Each structure stands twice: as C-alpha cells, then as structure tokens.
Chain A
Amino acid sequence: MSDVALKDVVKRFGSFTAVHRMSLEIPEGSFVTLLGPSGCGKTTTLRMIAGLLDPTEGDISIKGRRINDVPIHRRNLGLVFQNYALFPHKTVADNVGFGLKYRSVARAEAEKRVRQALELVQLPHLAHRYPSELSGGQQQRIALARAVVIEPDVLLLDEPLSALDANLRENMRVELKNIQKRIGVTSIFVTHDQSEALAMSDRIIVMSEGRVEQMGPPEEVYNTPATEFVARFLGAANILPAEALGVSREEIGLDVAGFGRLSIPRAKAPRLAGAGKARFVIRAERLQLLPEDAPGDDRIAVPAVVEAVDYQGQAARYFLRLDERQLQAVNMIDEHPFAEGTTVSLRLRPRDCAALPAEGGRDDG
C-alpha cells in the first residue's frame, strides 16, 4: 500500500512551470529522497505535499485520502526544516509538546510522550533549555522530536542536514535514518547532496528542471543512470559518444570513442533499443590507473596521459587525456599519486559501464 501518492501533479508560478506532470507512489514506511540541484522542483513538490503550496493540477493523497483541499494544520504531517524553525520563545519541552496541545492529549500523557521523544533523540536533559542555548545539531534533533511526537502520517524533511557542519552532518544522517527505521514512519527527504541520498534512501527520485529523471533504489540509480543528467549528478561520470553495433539478449556490442569495441551487459543499457548512435557512461571511480608497463589482465586497457591531479588525501582525482577527449578518474592512492605528464594504462571492466540512447532521445516523458 502506498502512503503518499501524487497523480499528474503540476505546479506553475505564473508562466513558469516548477513541476511538470509528476506522478509517484511512496510505499508505507519507506524513506524516499527527492534529489536534485536547486531549482529542480524538489522543494516545491515537498511543499505541495505539506500543504504549504497548492498544486495547479493533479491530486495528492495521503493514506488513500485526497488532501488537496485539506489545510496544512489538519494534514497530520511532521515537518523538519533546514533552519530548525524551533520556537525561540519556548523551552525545548514546550517546543516538542506544541503539536500535542492541538490534539486533545491528556496532560500526563503529553508529558510522557514529550519525554519519550526527547529520549528518542537522546536529549532528555535539555528539556528546560531555550533553543538559543543549543548547538545546531541539538536544535535539529529537537526539531525532529517535535515532528515525530505527534505520530505523523508522513515525515517531511526539507534539507534538514544542510545547515550543519560536515562531520556532524554525517553523524546526524546515520542517527536520522536509525530513528526513522525505529518508528517506521514514511519519510520524504529533500536534498541536493548525492551522498546523503545514497546513504539514507530506500528509493531516490532524481529531479531536474521540474521533471523526474529517474526513480529507483540507490544502487540502481547510481549504477544504471537512466539519463545523462543522472549520470553526471550522482558523482563524476565520463560520457563518451558510441555506436551500438548489435543487441543480443545478454549483451550490447558498442564501439566507444577512445576505447574501441566492447560488450556490456544488456541490463546496463535498458533504454537502448537497437543498433545506432548511443552514449557510453563510465564512472570516474571505475576507471583504474596503472603504470604504463603494468601487465595486462582481463580488463580493457588503453594508454592515456595524466593532465592534472587533484590530491584529496586518501584518493586523487585525475584529469586524463585520451585522444582528443578529457576523462576524469578517481582512484585510491597507493603510496604516491601519478604525476602530471605521466603516461598511464587506463583499465576498465565492461560490466562497470552503462549506455544511454544518443542525445535528444528523451523518451521517459
């Protein structure tokens, strides 16, 4: 059963269309991420589900009930904002208990639930503080407690980690995911950070310019991008022109610029129908650099020249010249990174690659 369903939802602001005809279903208890760059329509979508914006067209339902005309305060949703949005004039306990005041919950029961919510986010000792006395991470955990204490039908998270420091962000993301799992609330998470999306989601919905580019589990979205946008947005990908030579049940034969002829599994190019122009996708992490004289193995090997090195500590990003094209590769560093100007042997495994139809072939509607 789906908890949240959007059917042909469109949102226009004047002549600008922020969300194009969008339909999706979010299964009960799942953690779904709307991922995309700013201005892609992800926050607009979330705000329509929340009831802070009215869709121009289409229906939104929660637990099977159409809620287009239900005002936000009757939707029973938990909302967590990027800037915490705690009530600065109320104590932590009063912040968390705020939603219970409007839900005819007996006082003793309300106090108990506030205490439980604070224990859930591991901050029961801060009940009598004011928000201004808390750190950013603590404030966001209180905001989460405030949103879940009302036992919402859906938890909506609008970039909740973006205002936190890098280290804290990674800890919070594990904690947030744990809490979500423990209480099992259906959650919709909005972010522009691909690593957050990959780490936390059951399903990722990649959006661009108001359209859904791809929907699927993190691994599928990462390994088999449906569009060039998805390939480029989730980590660095190299995209090369190619020619599909023939399609069998198991494999697709490709002639790739710079790499020559190779065959990739059929599953890695689900949208490639037959022979003709295509685009070849290889992730920067999947291109392996070896010394020029390294012995051959089962991988495809081509010589390339290191043009620039971006040293990142445990790994390095290389900019490589292969014929007339520049490629990117991210490799772990073994002792020393390759120096600029070095000729290296570039290796790849066909099963790490994917292929898309040639440009202009937008066929996902």
Chain B
Amino acid sequence: MMRGAGWQAIRLYAICVYLFMFLPVAVVVLLSFNASHFGAFPMTGFSFRWFATLWQNEAVMRAFRTSLILGGLTALISTTLGVLAALALVRYTVRARNLVATVLIAPLLVPEVVLAVALLLFLNFAGIGKSMPMLLAGHVIFTLPFVFLVVQARLVGIRRDIEEAALSLGASPVQTFFSVTLPLLMPAVAAGALFAFTISFDNITGTLFWKPGGVETVPTQIFAMLRHSISPEINALGTVMIVMTVGLPLLGAALARKLAMKRGG
C-alpha cells in the first residue's frame, strides 16, 4: 500500500481542500436551524422558525415558484431539443456535423457572463424586450450542451441493429423511436432533464442580465436580500437550495439504479 510522509501530506492537503469547500456550506445549513436572531455563532437553540418565516415571505415564495416553473420548462425544452439534436447527429448524415456539434456545445466553453451580455445586446439590437420567454431561451442555451452530451453518449452505445430489428419487424421509424430507442435512452434523458433543471434552478449570472423587471428567481432573490441585511432567513433559503440541487440528482440516480436492478442488469 501507499505509505510514507509524502502520501500523508497529500492526504492532509486533500482533506483541507474539501474542508475549505464544504465547511461554509455546512455552516449555512447548521445556522439555518439556529434559534437566534443573528445569522452567526454561537447557536442559541434548534428551531425551524426561519423556514417558517421563509414560508410566509411572499417575495421568496414568488421567486421559488418562478424558479420551479423556469427550471421545469427549461428541462422540458432542453431535453426535447437535446434528444433531437443527438439523434440527428448520431443517426443521420448531417452536413457539417462537427461544426453543428461544436456550436451546440459552445455555450459550455464561452464564459457565462460573455454569453449573458451577448444575448442581452442581441435582444436590444433586435428590439425585443426582456421577458420570461427570453429568460427561458437563455436558460435553454445554457443547459442544452449538458443534455446533448449526456444523451449523445448514451445513443452512441445503443446498437443500430436493435433499431433495425424493430424496423424489420414492421415498426415504422417513429414507432421504433418510441418503443425501442427512447426506452433505452431513458436514463440519459432523465439525467439530462435533471441537469437542465438544477443548472437553471441555481443560475444567477445569466438570469441577472436577462430577467424582466419585477421578476426574481431564488438566486436573484437571495442576492437582493443580501444587499439589505444578512438575515438568518437566507441561511434557511440556502439550505432549501442545497437540498433541491444536490438531493434531486442523488434521488434521480438512486431511482435509475433501482429500475436497472429490477430489469435484471
């Protein structure tokens, strides 16, 4: 096995890095259950009062609903487009295939703030005002590369002859897609949708640039609240965000594994 002072040092270093990254998160979660009026140590008691306050805060609840709807629609549109794009590029002969694939993935490579400003300038140039559909379009552009990459990787692994077998047995191309390709693609589709939802749900940079006046999502709401004061309410909201964006994918992965087990591997 690995021994020696060098390895001990590396181990210690790794632990420090993880502590640095996750300790603040742990503190936020911990303080969200603090009974005190101040969002700081020492804790004076365990309480759910800040979650209750959150529940009664009309602005936060509105932001929450906006984020859920935005995330849900982003996931729906991104997943549909991502699956179609992957199908086209993997299964059919497309002219300039590499160029199309690069353009699809580009939003992943361009710095988010550059993309955000670019879209904003474009909207101004085209004379289109900021609106929810435009905000949604921006989120779709951000999340599409993730969905596309996940679905494409899975599609490459689905043997073409399985689809050919379905065709030869009398299923039309559309029937073949829904009875064979899509069920086999489902884990990737679900993963892509989850990705799209969580990325949209905690996106702030693009949203700040694109959101129409008066509309807040959960991240922009937190951002706005921070400007006034550091209320323990924000800790509670942060905890809810963490549960949503970390818990949801974990739940999805567990569900997928369970389904796969049922199917006999």
Does A329 count as interface, using CB distance less than 8 angstroms? no
* Per-residue B-contact encoding for A70-89, CB less than 8 Å = 1, 0 else: 01111111110101011111
Does B242 count as interface, using CB distance less than 8 angstroms? no
Interchain CB contact under 8 A, A88 and B184: yes
- List the A residue with the shortest CB-CB distance to B183: A89
Interchain CB contact under 8 A, B164 and A85: yes
Main secondary structure on chain B at its contact with chain A?
helix
**Which residues of B lie under 8 Å from residue A225 when comparing CB positions?**
none
- Most A CB contacts (10 A, CB to CB) among B159, B167, B171, B184 go to B167
Does A99 count as interface, using CB distance less than 8 angstroms? yes
Interchain CB contact under 8 A, B167 and A73: yes
Does B4 count as interface, using CB distance less than 8 angstroms? no
**Which residues of B lie under 8 Å from residue A88 when comparing CB positions?**
162, 184
Chain A contact residue count (CB 8 A cutoff) = 32
**Which residues of B lie under 8 Å from residue A85 when comparing CB positions?**
159, 161-162, 164-165
- From 249 to 265 in chain B, residues with beta carbon under 8 angstroms from any chain A beta carbon are 263-265
Nearest Cβ distance between residue A79 and chain B, in whole angstroms? 4
Does A52 count as interface, using CB distance less than 8 angstroms? yes
The range of chain B's interface size is 20 to 34
- Most A CB contacts (10 A, CB to CB) among B167, B169, B170, B180 go to B169
Does A146 count as interface, using CB distance less than 8 angstroms? yes
Contact of B175 among A81, A102, A130 (CB under 8 A): A102
Nearest Cβ distance between residue A133 and chain B, in whole angstroms? 5
Does A150 count as interface, using CB distance less than 8 angstroms? yes
Interchain CB contact under 8 A, A79 and B164: yes
Interchain CB contact under 8 A, A50 and B184: no
Q: Known contacts being A85-B159, A89-B183, A130-B264, is A73 close to B172, with CB within 8 Å? A: yes
- List the A residue with the shortest CB-CB distance to B165: A85
Q: Known contacts being A89-B184, A102-B175, A132-B265, is A73 close to B170, with CB within 8 Å? A: yes
15 contacts between A and B (CB under 8 A): A51-B168, A52-B164, A73-B168, A73-B170, A73-B173, A74-B170, A75-B168, A78-B168, A79-B169, A85-B164, A98-B166, A101-B171, A102-B169, A130-B263, A130-B264
